[in-house]
Structure 1
Amino acid sequence: MKRINIVSILFIFIIKKVISNNININYPIDCPEGTFLYCQHAFNKAMGIDINLTWKNISQIQPTVDSYMLQNVDNYIDSCQKRRDFYSCLGNKYTACINRYHLLNKIDDPSLTLSAYLYSAFWRGFDFSCNGGLTTAIYSPETFNQTSLQNDITQCQKLLLNDMKNSLNNICLNTQSYMKCMQDFYIQRINLQMGWFACEKARIQFADDCPDLRCLVIQ
């Protein structure tokens, strides 16, 4: 007989409670699951990714997208077009489907909690990179030459993931620390403008519940 993990059940209960307390504010979660799966498959195919990967496999999807997108301007623009196709595929359900509360509401395995946060952050960061941050990105040579920055980027990301694993309740504090980490080293290694870009992307990715967080161009 399969043993019941009481801690896991309690954790999921708490997550569902948090969701029920938040979705009435401004978090639509009415996502048509069949359409969501179809659109994800279509995006994966367009990007040359295994079509069977879903939001649960974001740790495999994101590195592939980033690796292709950050090679050159043409790939960047092409990736943005594929992002727009995914957006168009979901239509007015896009926001609901990529919403972390929609994904959290579906999980029955606590180990998927982080994937729910990271999947939502992936698309929100993608949106910024292809819209508000597009001009800054494509006209900055450093966007396509980040090999020397990878250790710093990875370090900031590891700190964020460790913070989130330890306490999802402190998402705003964790996000603020991540924003500062990204902005500081981009300013030190590149310039103020790219520092703002890195900070703002981090804010948009994770600060859904943190309206007071801001990114400034530090003089």
Structure 2
Amino acid sequence: MRSAVIALLVFVAFSRSDFLLPFPLSEKFINFTAQLEKPTNNDTSCNLAQLNYCQYSFNQNFGLNSSVSYSNGSRIFETVQNYLNSNVTQLSKICRARTNFYHCLGHTYYTCMNLHTRLESNNTDSSNGFDYVRTFRGLEWICGGGYQETINQWNNFDDIPTSTPYRNCVNTFNQTISTVHFCSSVQQTGNCLNTVYSNSTGDASAGHYGCENFRYTFANACPGLKCTIGK
């Protein structure tokens, strides 16, 4: 019985879909990304009281207690990831929560989700700030332009983030990224993931999905990047 339980846990661990793409980024490049995102008009207004209220409301959908705030980005990322990985029926619930969060913040949403703004006002480390921002940027894609593809390819996406081709893309990104060629490295990694998702599913639209899912995290830092279908 015990061996059967262990086998089941191993199976679950290696069959995670991870729709919020898992990849590491060093503190150096998180801070560099934040500098690239620095608002040019100096509009960094984000009402923290309002953000805390909106985050509290968002948390209620996922069993997170009231003490979890924007400074606990890694915990929020992992919690949302686990809900996404559970089953496709959770997707609509998660997307409703994301939409309500967006409307709760109103016109300050994009300022509050700016990495530079978050790190400037955050009382936490850069990793938590980065995970917080990429959680909601990932949901922007998954619940927006990528919503139908997420549903259509739910089962086909299962093994991709744990596959060797996916890891090769991410490893190359971390090995070649620099402040000089930062955005070109993001573009190349998006292209790499485009190929991985396309080859894994046999569907060019899935390739576009994989590329966009990565690009959205860096859309403010590298606004000129594009993902194409059939790259």
TM norm. shorter chain > 0.5: yes
Deviates more, 1:61-70 or 1:151-160: 151-160
Deviation at 1:66, TM superposition (A): 2.1
Which residue does 2:46 correspond to in 1? 31
Which residue does 2:216 correspond to in 1? 204
Which residue does 1:93 correspond to in 2? 108
Which residue does 2:128 correspond to in 1? 115
Structure 2 unpaired stretches of 5+: 1-27
Secondary structure, counterpart of 2:39 in structure 1: helix
TM-score, normalised relative to structure 2: 0.72
Which residues of 2 match residues 107-146 of structure 1 at below 5 A? 107=122, 112-138=125-151, 140=152, 142-144=153-155, 146=157
Which residue does 1:71 correspond to in 2? 86
The verdict on how the C-alpha distance between 1:116 and 1:216 changes in structure 2, with shifts beyond 3 A counting, is same
Which residue does 2:160 correspond to in 1? 149
> Larger RCO: Structure 1 or Structure 2 (Cα < 8 Å, ≥ 6 residues apart)?
2
Larger helix proportion of the pair:
1
Deviation at 1:103, TM superposition (A): 0.9
Q: Tell me if 1:105 matches 2:120.
A: yes
Deviation at 1:178, TM superposition (A): 3.0
2:191 aligned to 172, 175, 180, which one? Answer: 180
Considering only aligned residues, what root-mean-square deviation do their CA atoms show, in Å? 3.2
Kept in 1, the 8 Å contact 2:193–2:210? The answer is yes
What residue identity is the alignment partner of 1:125?
Answer: G
Secondary structure, counterpart of 1:143 in structure 2: coil
What residue identity is the alignment partner of 2:137?
Answer: R
Deviation at 1:189, TM superposition (A): 0.9
| 1:44-100 CA distance string (max 9 Å, x none) | 121122432233322222222122124333210111001111112111111111111
Deviates more, 1:54-63 or 1:188-197: 54-63
| 1:112-131 CA distance string (max 9 Å, x none) | 22433332222112011111
The verdict on how the C-alpha distance between 1:108 and 1:57 changes in structure 2, with shifts beyond 3 A counting, is closer
Kept in 2, the 8 Å contact 1:156–1:182? The answer is no
Which residue does 1:8 correspond to in 2? none
Distance in 2 of aligned mates of 1:74 and 1:35: 30
What residue identity is the alignment partner of 2:131?
Answer: L
TM-score, normalised relative to structure 1: 0.75
Deviation at 1:182, TM superposition (A): 2.1
Kept in 1, the 8 Å contact 2:71–2:122? The answer is no
Identity over the aligned pairs, expressed in percent? 25
